[in-house]
Amino acid sequence: MTRGVWAAPGRVNIIGEHTDYNGGYALPIALPQVVRCAAATETDGRVRVTSRQHPGERIDVAVAELGRASVAGWARYPLGVVYEFQRRGHGIPGVTLELDGAVPIGAGLSSSAAVECAVALALRDLFDLPVRVPELIDIARTAENDYVGAPTGSLDQSAAMLCTAGHALFLDFGKGDHEQVAFDLAGAGLELLVIDTDTPHRMVDGEYARRRQQCEAAATALGVATLREVADPRAVDTLVDPLLRRRARHVVTENARVLAVADALHTGADPRTIGPVLTVAHASLRDDFEVSTPQLDTAVTTALAAGALGARMVGGGFGGSMVALTERGATEPIAEEVEKRFRDCGFAAPKWFVALPSPGARRIS
């Protein structure tokens, strides 16, 4: 029996929401919070999965039955990765997976991708499989799309696998390229505040898929393969359907915002200049893409009123977290103002932390 422990991080996206499946750009960082996967080889043709976050549940499925398994809920994420390896011809003779996650669940910080990538890396290493990182990313994404049923792009898995400490990850989904971009907020006296609004989002409830379908319809109406090909926001004004016009406008302008932020970081501009870009991105997600919530809007407006340099919802939306660019020393007071505002509104108490650009997936023992 061979065993080990692997870890993959959650992520927070500085800028670039709903751009990945449109062939566009994004700029995430990995979080210090990770999902750990303690894995061991087996030879009995079965997959056994447990999670410290789901005590008392033990999933035991034959590898040969994974394609027909009726297992629901959290276990479909790791099982989907095992199934995708098997489906691609990378034989898995049996494995035990013990998961323990510190990435907040349902917070829009990619806890699911962290599970998938920790398991994918563990399987590759345990069984010495000839699978390079780009295919690991694709395996993890396909597991989420096809086995779980969440039609996401590959941003989350790419961030979990490719991010490095001290850097943001510039992703070009149209070309399949990526680049590490130095991201030193501390050196400028700044911090990146993340506030989990405790309104769990769900990618499989149909709304995320509907946004993707609307983007595809907008691209077709504009005569392009993906909205990434539309560089001029004025081009979307030719769309007759006002709903498709709003959806396309968000994607096209969001791509421009990613390029602007990446350029600012590349050229050594004061990171404070990206704050207003974050705020404009939130308005776009709220008004054009319609994926925000009252809690997210309240967190953003309260943080800005309390002195944040910029703020926006982060992730796919319909709940989850917001991110704010803050002066060091102002972070905690801003978070406390959001907590107070949530109490006044009768919302659930939010949770907060400071995001630090951290390493991607790796073996830890």
Beta strand pairing status for 3-15 and 25-41?
antiparallel
CB atoms within 10 A of CB 41: 16
- Residue from 156, 196, 198, 288 carrying the catalytic annotation: 156
E strand or H helix at 219: helix 207-222
| Start-to-end C-alpha separation, the chain | 15
Residue type, 96: T
Specify burial of residue 175 (Cβ count, 10 A radius: 0-12, 13-18, 19+). exposed
Q: 245, 217 in Cβ contact below 8 A?
A: no
Contact status, residue 77 vs residue 112, Cβ threshold 8 Å: yes
| Chain mean position to CA 137 | 13
State both tokens at 148.
Answer: 């779980």
Tokens standing for residue 263: 């350029």
Cβ-based neighbours of 97, under 8 Å, separated by 6 or more? 37, 38, 39, 47, 48, 49, 50, 78, 82, 119, 122
156 is catalytic: yes
Whole-angstrom CA distances from 89 to 27, 82, 136, 354 are: 33, 11, 14, 42
Which residues are catalytic, by number? 156
